[in-house]
Structure 1
Amino acid sequence: MFDHDDVRTAQEITQQPRVWRDAGEMVRARRTAIDAFLARHADARIVLTGSGTSAFIGRIAAPALTRATGRRVDAVAATDIVSAPCAAFAENVPTVLVSFARSGRSPESVAATELADQLLTDVHHVIITCDVTGDLYRRHSARADDLVLVTPDGTNDAGFAMTSSFSSMLLVALLVFAPRGDEAVAALASAGEWALNDGGTLPAELAATGFARVVYLGSGPLTGLAQESALKLLELTAGRIVGMFDSPLGFRHGPKSILDDDTLVVVFVSADPYTRQYDLDLLGELVATAGAHRVVAVSAEPVAVDGATVWTLPGVAGLDDAALALPYAVFAQSLALGQSLRLGLTPDNPFPSGDVNRVVQGVTIHRLDAAPTAS
């Protein structure tokens, strides 16, 4: 899809089907150790954390893992843990803290694990990272009862925006806590290849159109993907194109005011038959709403809504929404990259001034002196 071989971000987007297959093989190779860790902590609360895009991985995975495991799984951003740790860990219960981190070097990522150790009597860590030289990897790989998993080679994205690091860490989490067969990973990888080739025509067309704002909508796990998609657009266009996210039901409660002639609306359609009804209702409403905004449905199954453009992934019908988030993300990443290139920006470094950095800088971590209040 992309002819810009010198753009690392483009390469990192296009490598995703391959690294998804590699991630599946990595988890399979570590299955014995993974299952032993999970068995030792079978009754623990699971908290999924990370900063920025890494936090959105948790937001996508948590509803799916709660449903698949029947366990309590919460998504709490590392930034929220650091700023209000006694609220995040108000209950002193056995906890598994799952930290997602591309580099493992952001100050909040390290501080979140330290605060968990400080406030909780019984806490163990799962580190899912792309960098074996990062602080999280180094600190936790030496701890006897922590589980450290490294995504495949090449996923420590060199570009500014997280792309293959995001999707590979998400896939690892899903495979760890809700194992699925090799055929599911193969289907996702094949769908990703289609999204980059035949399916890449639509994102390229939309990028060339030059919308001033893009709204991403999704329900359940796909709300987290909508949030990540909006961020990807903001990052790669240096904020020159407005990205917004919401759920289909929430969008009616005021945010729908954003619609105008320069707005593109993308609805990530749920695979859940019940939830899907609400997505289709909103799609029908959106195409009937006055204005020249364009409406796109991204779906794993055919969608029949007159007036909406439908982007249908082949071969993944029957997979759950958290898994579908991987090839769905390719659509959003491709659109964001296309917009960035159209604007004449440098996607690998859209902020040459250094105002926004690949690894967050300037954060002061304040010491928590108060005694733990959890009970």
Structure 2
Amino acid sequence: MSGKEPGQFTFSEIYAQAHTASQTLARSCERSRMLASLGPLSQFDQILFTGCGSSYNLGRCAVWAWSSLLNKRVCALPAAELAHFPENYLSGQGKPLLFAISRTGGTAETVLAVETLHERFNAATVALTTEADRELPQVCHLSIDFSECKEQSLVMTQAFTCMLYSLYLLADSFSGAAWASQLANIPSAIGESLMRNEPVVRALGEDLSLSRFIFLGSGPFRGLAMEAALKMTEMAYETAQTYYTLEFRHGPKAALGPESIVIIYPVEAERRYLKVLIDEIAQTGARSLVIADRPVDVDCEQLNFNSGLGDLFLPALFAHIGQQLAFWRACARGVDPDAPRYLVHTVKLDGS
């Protein structure tokens, strides 16, 4: 017997994020120099992010800052999709840059995507991983090591936050560093939120009258909503669904009831429509929780941060909320979030 308490690793990794993110910030200049070694980003006609599961969701979040700040074509794709159907997403007319994300560095589909783009599109490839001695760094042109957020738990938490934060810092660095001072405040803002919002998030997670969790997010928050739903599924084995925010009104709301909670990450462009959405949710007997940087004029529970960051960067600040919620839900259900059933650290295509 190891004597380890259930959830010990996941708890420490979630609640250490302010510290690990500060280490990520300290390594940002070093990582900018590493990426610059590939040459100017202007040589690449397209930038792609790929990964599986949480790593793919991370890419979905990063895309918005990279496309907006660098004014380039940027997309995120699941690694298997990119490996098997690359011609549907790449023009073949120029040289693409691929960021391949894998916490463990050995995800089979991600390695396959890199090899496919090398062979068929002459892509430049960058591995983002916490384990620099695995397969993915070996097949990429450049490897950026995130040893500061290496995890023992099966479920990705602090590594998601730190890798995403680093990608924001890189995008800002290569576009003039206009957001540098605001981005530097993210670690301390995470630390404050982990403590301040703990009572609300824990109470929701421990409320066993809730049995359906829906996460809504559009634009820069789409990947974040997907990630929050995945955390709830992985850690707590709960029914968790995710939709684009306003798309939820077109059919999915029919499944709501008193056992449901709808968690909304509102993008600035859709704030004007939140009242009607939340009123419709309330009519079903379901609850709503809004997670936003500044308060929204709606009648429901809210978590606000007042960081002054724009929508492009807020997913790195908000990610821990979904992680906390899933952790406390798992504990309330008697599930060990460190070791979810059927899951393994590294997924292989041969099933090993």
TM-score (norm 2): 0.91
Deviations 1:35-90 (A, max 9, x none): 35351544421011111110111111112321111100011110211232333445
Q: What does 1:70-81 align with in structure 2 at a 5 Å threshold?
A: 70-81=71-82
2:200 is equivalent to residue 202 of structure 1: yes
Secondary structure at the counterpart of residue 103 of structure 1? coil
Q: Which amino acid aligns with 2:196?
A: D
Structure 1 residue 129 displacement after superposition? 1.3
Separation in 2, partners of 1:156, 1:304: 40
2:224 is equivalent to residue 225 of structure 1: yes
Separation in 2, partners of 1:327, 1:32: 25
Separation in 1, partners of 2:12, 2:332: 17
Q: Evaluate the alpha carbon distance shift between residue 44 and residue 36 of structure 1 in structure 2; reply closer, same or farther with a 3 A threshold.
A: farther
Separation in 1, partners of 2:77, 2:39: 20
The match for 1:171 is 165
Q: What does 1:85-234 align with in structure 2 at a 5 Å threshold?
A: 85-120=86-121, 122-140=122-140, 146-153=141-148, 155-179=149-173, 180=177, 181-210=179-208, 211-234=210-233
Q: Which amino acid aligns with 1:326?
A: A
Identity of aligned residues (%): 25
Unaligned runs of 5+ in 1: 141-145, 365-375
Aligned residue pair count: 343
The match for 1:17 is 18
Unaligned runs of 5+ in 2: none
Separation in 1, partners of 2:329, 2:72: 41
Q: Evaluate the alpha carbon distance shift between residue 279 and residue 28 of structure 1 in structure 2; reply closer, same or farther with a 3 A threshold.
A: farther
Q: Evaluate the alpha carbon distance shift between residue 117 and residue 105 of structure 1 in structure 2; reply closer, same or farther with a 3 A threshold.
A: same
Separation in 1, partners of 2:78, 2:7: 33
Q: Evaluate the alpha carbon distance shift between residue 138 and residue 280 of structure 1 in structure 2; reply closer, same or farther with a 3 A threshold.
A: farther
2:270 is equivalent to residue 275 of structure 1: yes
Match of 1:266 among 263, 270, 282: 263
Q: What does 1:247-326 align with in structure 2 at a 5 Å threshold?
A: 247-270=244-267, 272=268, 274-287=269-282, 289-291=283-285, 293-306=286-299, 308-314=300-306, 316-317=307-308, 319-326=309-316
| Comparing 322-331 and 97-106, the one that deviates more | 322-331
> Is 1:5–1:11's contact at 8 Å kept on the other side of the alignment?
no
TM-score (norm 1): 0.86
Separation in 2, partners of 1:338, 1:183: 33
| Comparing 156-165 and 29-38, the one that deviates more | 29-38
Separation in 1, partners of 2:343, 2:260: 26
Q: Evaluate the alpha carbon distance shift between residue 253 and residue 103 of structure 1 in structure 2; reply closer, same or farther with a 3 A threshold.
A: same
Deviations 1:188-219 (A, max 9, x none): 11221122101111111101212111000011
The match for 1:50 is 51
2:232 is equivalent to residue 245 of structure 1: no
Structure 1 residue 139 displacement after superposition? 3.0
Q: Evaluate the alpha carbon distance shift between residue 185 and residue 67 of structure 1 in structure 2; reply closer, same or farther with a 3 A threshold.
A: closer
> Is 1:126–1:149's contact at 8 Å kept on the other side of the alignment?
yes
Separation in 2, partners of 1:177, 1:264: 34
Deviations 1:351-371 (A, max 9, x none): 1xxx3323213447xxxxxxx
Q: Evaluate the alpha carbon distance shift between residue 137 and residue 86 of structure 1 in structure 2; reply closer, same or farther with a 3 A threshold.
A: same
